Structure 1
Amino acid sequence: MGDLRSVGASFVVPGLSGVTVRDRLKGLTAHDERVLRLVGDHLGSLAARDLKARCAVGPEHDNEAWAARKRELTGLSSSRWAGSLTKATHDQWALARRGQQAHIRQLEAGVDTIRHRLSLPLGEKGSKRASGGYRSRWEWHAKTRRLRVLEDRLERARADWAAGRVRVVRGGKQLLNTRHHLDQAQLTEEVWRGRWEASRRFLQADGESGKRYGNETIRISPDGQVSIKLPAPLTHLANAPHGRYVLTTRVAFAHRGETWRDRVEANRAVAYRIHEDTGRRRWYLTASWSIPPAQTVPLAAVRAGGVIGVDTNADLPHARLRSRGGTPTAAWRLDAHGNPVGAPRRFDYILSGTSEHRDAQVRHALTRLLHWARRYQLAIAVEDLDFTAETTREKHGRRKHFRKLISGMPVARLRARLVSMAAELGIPLVAVDPAYTSKWGAQHWQKPLTNSKRTTTRHDAAAVAIGRRALGHPVRRRTAPPRTHQCDGHGHRTVQARPAAPGREETRPRIPGPRTRSVPPGRGANAGDQNTQHRPGCSAEHGFWQQDSPPLSP
């Protein structure tokens, strides 16, 4: 028995720290759209210039350099627009810096894996923790060439990190590369140009508490009137005092509208962003604000009524769902003692089509899950999954199907959606360590939960294992003892823990007293009671109530 990975403790997921709502700007006139494009293009060019200046400074950036950048942009826009521009470009540089560090870690992992496998003889088998040698001489030679490529990439990435250089594309690298493959993307150059210009516009402003309606740059009144502070070169387009432009449309947030209106009337900070969807030819306005984190419910209180274990791994059991690119979400309700209650539930979603369609599928599946949990007032237990370093071909070798499978799992999107939607409904979430949940669930729960009317899948059994781990119970279940007089044939319990098992899954504590079939443990003092039964040789045969033997003859 090899060493098992240590299992981390379960914890209640903290609530959200921010809220975002969106509404469509309906009824915009042609002049309104023209003004929005002019303002966005002008501020976008300033953002590109400021991002270039920020990347040139590198890690040595300080408050004085920040102030100098803001002063340079103030004359070309306004003081508030300059503050939003410098903050947005700094955040974009910091994001690129974190991505660069993650890329270096991924390259280092790939180089270490290839070096380890090249050092092994050809055909040597690997283990669960380490890969084995390569299968053929041809593959070994190909991997030596790939090792040199990765080492060169790693050397360049480390040099960029040391020098503080980052590579950022305003508008997105993916959209930029699409320009060279318009036929594959089924786009014309005009359509692509419209998307590119829309993605590079800058129309967002941070809020400020104490100011009128919480934002002086993009101001929205409680009745939904939208006005924008125009940059200095475009003040001739103003249709309101103080260089402001008022749109002809009004907004009304259907979701959290009352909360937003309360913040606006109290002059609390609200950030806004205006962007254009060129595919639908629509304009949208997004509002966001921070909220104080909700007080986390103690784990003991969450476990009191039981949980719903949820498994989101993509081991698809149905060929129809697999062919459609679907992903199942298995859930099973468990009581406070870790026993499965009722039948398992499935909440499947199809990850096909556009990103909006995929996001809607995930939302719909999670909505049904959360409504089920709210009906029984239970918490939800999920795995704390993270596949950021598990999708490379160096990690899984030729297992292309498995690499594609875990790469296609929307872990980040599913986690973000689940946290936000559960916080809205007041449903606690318990995150558990994903180690061995699928394996131990199938080993200990799949067969016992299968009967003539229900076939329990590996997916359903993993949900039970996740729920038991969230409740603090061991995943391993106790089976019945061997049948009478067949101890030698059946051996000990099939799930009896070994001495080297983790402490929370140790063997049962020994009960003092004899342990025989005729005398149960701890019942040795009551063994004399058997003398009162009607048996030959017992003193009870000579009691006064004993019936005399019938005569042998009349």
Structure 2
Amino acid sequence: MDPATGQWADRKRTITAESSSRWAGSITKATHDQWALARRSQFAHIRSLESGIATITHRLSLPVGAKGSKKTPGGYRSAEEWFAKTRRLRLLQDRLQRLQADYRTGRVRVVRGGKRLLRTRHNLEAAELTSAEWRERWRAERRFLQADGESGKRYGNETIRITPEGEVSIKLPASLAHLANAGHGRYVLGARVSFPHRGDQWRDRVQANRAVAYRIHEDVERHRWYVTASWTIPPVRTVPLESVRAGGVIGVDTNADHLAAWRLDAHGNPVGAPRRFDYDLTGTTAHRDAQVRHALIRLLRWARRHHLAIAIEDLDFTTETTREKHGRRRRFRKLISGMPVSRLRGRLVGMAADLGVTVVAVDPAYTSKWGAQHWRHPLTTTQRPVTRHEAAAVAIGRRALGHPIRRRTAPPPAHQSDEQGHRTVQAAPGAPEREEPRPRALGPRTRSAPPGHGANAGDQDAQHRSERPAEHAQLMLSL
């Protein structure tokens, strides 16, 4: 199937003899696209197995119960878990060897009609289907017509042509030319089609004879045929970051079931009330895509109405969902596996380019943690409680604007305050109330007196020290 080996050309010549060169190219292109997708998925699976094997090998090399660090995991908790992981390591190594052998030879495993529908055949009672109903769906998934567009051809596609008025005509192969009901070997369908979504864009393209690809497929549940139109989105235009920050941004926090968004001005201050865009990722692939698209279009229309850019985290969980990475944290692995990161990111860039909205990708490190720590409590009122995700949206927007997320950094430990000096992130020397006492922080503390309390809590000179504070000493020298 690899085009570099010449198999694609050989298959196209074979099919051309039985149909036509146009349909032969369409059929071979569809099969090759499916092969290429399976090939990329196979490569990603190999990388995932290699990462899991490396993690297990490292943990097996450590003593049982050895502690790890922030970047490297420690040893396993017990000898039983250590032994179980040795067996899993052999299993992963066997899988990796088989996949590497298939990858070297270019062999992939593709199920026409879908692997999910194939597995449903063995669970008809749970799916509430009969054998005949399943067979009908199986044939419908494997029966479709599709053709890529051609710029310069009439209405952007010579094989499947759709006029701006919705008339559909198909170029028949030579063996079926006797069935044509129009000139030049074409068959015109009796029904007309319309595109409610982006219909104006599609009409502009076909009137300009720009390439549009079509796919005709059947929906067995609704007993209807549908036509899907697609075209290539132009390259995204880059915008200087200074111009994006001028009017503020909309910070967006991505979650498994919703998008939390908050508008920020150019100074990083939240404006108005936060917004929430829900989506449901259960059900079929088409339903999940529609849910994500509906949530994104509402977000983009809100951003375009206020002429603002969108700041979103640059998340990537492709190699972070394995149990070798997160161990027994099943709920967390299920959470990040359910987040539509790649689907949402791809659709957001494409839809934003069509609507003229700028997207800013920011580093996701500590946005949820610092947002909840520094912004959730100050923004919460009696009438409007702020969630952790909404506070994270504020943190994401501030990072996109170039402002620090933390409103005040933590002071150094008590026994190291003289050694470490003042805070590393400090207000400017001329800022008012720069040396005022810190507000009381919620939560347990190891000191005997709560922070912000005591007779001399705000006076650094009154502490039991042999020298004056460094800030006051520098002030005296400057005088």
Normalised by the shorter chain, which TM-score bucket? 0.7 to 0.9
CA displacement 1:60-119 (0-9 Å, x = unmatched): 524xx5433322111111111111122222222222221111111000111111112222
Q: Give the CA deviation at 1:508.
A: 5.3
- Matched AA of 1:470: A
Structure 1: distance between partners of 2:171 and 2:205: 20
- Which residue of 194, 201, 225 maps to 1:252? 194
Q: Give the CA deviation at 1:163.
A: 2.2
User: What is the correspondence of 1:136-535 to structure 2 with a 5 Å cutoff?
Assistant: 136-314=78-256, 327-478=257-408, 497-498=423-424, 507=426
Worse-matched range after superposition: 283-292 or 75-84: 283-292
The answer to whether the 8 A contact 1:332-1:464 is kept is yes
The answer to whether the 8 A contact 1:75-1:232 is kept is no
Structure 2: distance between partners of 1:352 and 1:496: 51
The answer to whether the 8 A contact 2:148-2:157 is kept is yes
Unmatched 5+ residue regions in structure 2? 436-458, 462-470
Structure 2: distance between partners of 1:349 and 1:213: 36
Structure 2: distance between partners of 1:405 and 1:230: 49
- Matched AA of 1:69: R
Worse-matched range after superposition: 297-306 or 336-345: 336-345
Structure 2: distance between partners of 1:130 and 1:480: 26
Does 1:133 find its partner at 2:75? yes
- Which residue of 51, 62, 79 maps to 2:21? 79
SS of match in other structure, 1:209? coil
- Matched AA of 2:305: R
- Matched AA of 2:44: A
User: Judging changes above 3 Å, is the alpha-carbon distance between structure 1 residues 284 and 106 closer, same or farther for their aligned structure 2 residues?
Assistant: same
User: Judging changes above 3 Å, is the alpha-carbon distance between structure 1 residues 165 and 476 closer, same or farther for their aligned structure 2 residues?
Assistant: same
- Matched AA of 1:142: A
Partner of 2:445: none
- Matched AA of 1:61: T
The answer to whether the 8 A contact 1:225-1:251 is kept is yes
SS of match in other structure, 2:183? coil
The answer to whether the 8 A contact 1:309-1:464 is kept is yes
Identity of aligned residues (%): 72
Unmatched 5+ residue regions in structure 1? 1-53, 315-326, 482-487, 499-505, 528-554
Partner of 1:106: 48
User: Judging changes above 3 Å, is the alpha-carbon distance between structure 1 residues 296 and 272 closer, same or farther for their aligned structure 2 residues?
Assistant: same
CA displacement 1:280-338 (0-9 Å, x = unmatched): 11101112222433533222111101111111134xxxxxxxxxxxx232222211111
Structure 2: distance between partners of 1:405 and 1:72: 48
Q: What value does the CA root-mean-square deviation take over the aligned residues?
A: 3.3
Q: Give the CA deviation at 1:147.
A: 0.8
Structure 1: distance between partners of 2:203 and 2:303: 30
Structure 1: distance between partners of 2:277 and 2:472: 47
Q: Give the CA deviation at 1:472.
A: 1.5
Q: Give the CA deviation at 1:377.
A: 2.0
Q: Which has the higher contact order (CA 8 A, sep 6+)?
A: 1
User: Judging changes above 3 Å, is the alpha-carbon distance between structure 1 residues 208 and 329 closer, same or farther for their aligned structure 2 residues?
Assistant: closer
Structure 2: distance between partners of 1:59 and 1:417: 29
Structure index of larger Rg: 1
- Matched AA of 2:86: T
Partner of 1:484: none
Structure 2: distance between partners of 1:338 and 1:472: 9
Structure 2: distance between partners of 1:100 and 1:363: 27
Structure 1: distance between partners of 2:297 and 2:195: 20
- Matched AA of 2:104: A
The answer to whether the 8 A contact 1:478-1:496 is kept is no
User: Judging changes above 3 Å, is the alpha-carbon distance between structure 1 residues 301 and 286 closer, same or farther for their aligned structure 2 residues?
Assistant: same
The answer to whether the 8 A contact 1:59-1:164 is kept is no
The answer to whether the 8 A contact 1:274-1:285 is kept is yes
Matched residues, number:
439
User: Judging changes above 3 Å, is the alpha-carbon distance between structure 1 residues 479 and 137 closer, same or farther for their aligned structure 2 residues?
Assistant: closer
User: Judging changes above 3 Å, is the alpha-carbon distance between structure 1 residues 281 and 497 closer, same or farther for their aligned structure 2 residues?
Assistant: farther
Structure 1: distance between partners of 2:232 and 2:294: 26
Partner of 2:466: none
CA displacement 1:131-181 (0-9 Å, x = unmatched): 222222222221111111001011111122222222222222222222222
SS of match in other structure, 2:225? strand
The answer to whether the 8 A contact 1:307-1:380 is kept is yes
- Matched AA of 2:390: D
CA displacement 1:505-534 (0-9 Å, x = unmatched): x555667xxx9999999999xx9xxxxxxx
SS of match in other structure, 2:122? coil
User: Judging changes above 3 Å, is the alpha-carbon distance between structure 1 residues 274 and 243 closer, same or farther for their aligned structure 2 residues?
Assistant: same
The answer to whether the 8 A contact 1:208-1:268 is kept is yes
Q: Give the CA deviation at 1:381.
A: 0.6
The answer to whether the 8 A contact 1:334-1:341 is kept is yes
The answer to whether the 8 A contact 2:410-2:423 is kept is no
- Matched AA of 2:28: T
Structure 1: distance between partners of 2:302 and 2:4: 52
Structure 2: distance between partners of 1:194 and 1:471: 54
User: Judging changes above 3 Å, is the alpha-carbon distance between structure 1 residues 521 and 132 closer, same or farther for their aligned structure 2 residues?
Assistant: closer
Q: Give the CA deviation at 1:432.
A: 0.8
Partner of 1:61: 5
The answer to whether the 8 A contact 2:3-2:9 is kept is no
Structure 2: distance between partners of 1:251 and 1:346: 35
Partner of 1:538: none
SS of match in other structure, 2:155? helix
Q: TM-score, normalised by structure 1?
A: 0.72
- Matched AA of 1:73: I
SS of match in other structure, 1:310? strand
The answer to whether the 8 A contact 2:233-2:350 is kept is no
